[in-house]
Amino acid sequence: MPINEEILAHFAEIKPTEILEEKILAFDSESEFVGVCVDLLIEAGSYLITAASIYPSGQDGWTRNEAIIGGSLVRLYKLIDAILDQTCKHRLETAFILSRLHFETTVNSIFLMRNPEQANFDNFVAYSLQHEGKLLDTIDKNVAERDGNSLPIEDRMRRSIERTFRMSQLEKKDLPANRMRDWQNSSLYKRAKAIGFGQAYDAVFGGGSQIVHGNWGDLYQHHLEPKGDRFVAKTSFKIPRPQFLEVNAIHSVAAVSEFICFLGLYQERPVLVDLFNSFIERVKTLSGFHENFLVQNS
């Protein structure tokens, strides 16, 4: 098959963020590095939404399995948008929570693309549909207690849930009898480790648990101010730093690169991989400048 020049053209239209050494070496505050990271994250978001607009040749949409990955890219794009919003409002706490969600979606999508067995995709969907299965059980129980009389709201809910199962290409009987605590009989850490994101898990996901769940560590660090042997409210936000923005940018482009292979765009891949590698190198270059800045100003 000939190379799809239209796809390449859409990616080529995305303006690369310049990393100008002379300009960066003149930075005198960390916020200036954050500003460049924001531009890089906007660029990463552009790659995500461009990739999410690609369908297999001759098709006007995705199959269910392709849709799981395509929908994940759309979710990553929306999370990037939200992270940028909170970053530009100087709100580290909420930006980091969104970053943790971004990491989980990245890991799940890349794991599925590298392990595309049908059972893995079915397992991913079945795990998600457990709630709908429980709702159907509750409706059946309530209707049975009324001698078979159902309420209009229950009829509407049943039709909606049944439509969800139908579009998901699973039936309620396909759900496991016992509650699934995670899909693929695994854990996010194991999936992250399997795709080479083990160290990133500790930094982005594991370390972010306290912030997401509002544990004492989060309250103490972000929402309380010691005052003698007591505490007072700390209503101000912490200012975001470049590191987690850089990670989000790299992970976003990693997912896009995998998606290109997943859709079978093998002829376009060399050009696009060069583009993505160039992006990652620019992110790493900025990160190196930032680390030098911290050393010099410590």
| 133-161 per-residue burial string, b: 16 or more CB within 10 A, e: under 16 | beebeebeeebeeeeeeeeeebeebbeeb
* Residue matched to tokens 């995500």: 48
Residue 132 near residue 148 (C-beta atoms within 8 A): no
Check residue 216 and give its pLDDT: 86
Residue 51: CB partners within 8 Å, gap ≥ 6? 73, 256, 259, 260
Amino acid letter at 183? W
Domain extents for the chain? 5-116+240-296, 208-238
Whole-number Å distance between alpha carbons of 38 and 95: 12
Residues with Cβ within 8 Å of residue 84, at least 6 apart in sequence: 38, 41, 42, 45
Q: In whole angstroms, what is the distance from residue 114 CA to residue 121 CA?
A: 12
10-residue averages of pLDDT along the chain (298 residues): 82 95 94 96 97 85 94 97 96 91 95 94 90 92 92 94 92 81 81 92 74 84 92 93 93 95 87 94 96 92
Length of the chain: 298
Q: What is the pLDDT of residue 2?
A: 65
Alpha helices in 115-241 (DSSP H): 118-128, 130-145, 152-168, 188-194, 198-200, 209-213, 216-218
Q: Are 233 and 225 in contact (CB under 8 A)?
A: yes
Q: Which residues pair with 224 in a beta bridge?
A: 233
pTM given for the model: 0.90
Measuring CA to CA, which residue among 55, 191, 197 is closest to residue 112?
A: 191
3-state secondary structure of 235: coil
What dihedral do alpha carbons 139, 144, 146, 148 form, nearest 10°? 100
Give the model's pLDDT for residue 209.
Answer: 72
Q: Please give the structure tokens belonging to residue 103.
A: 């990491």
CB 278 within 8 A of CB 17: no
Question: Phi/psi at 227 (nearest 5 deg)?
Answer: -140, 90
Q: In the prediction, which pLDDT does 207 show? A: 65
Q: Which residues pair with 227 in a beta bridge?
A: 230
d(CA 51, CA 45): 10
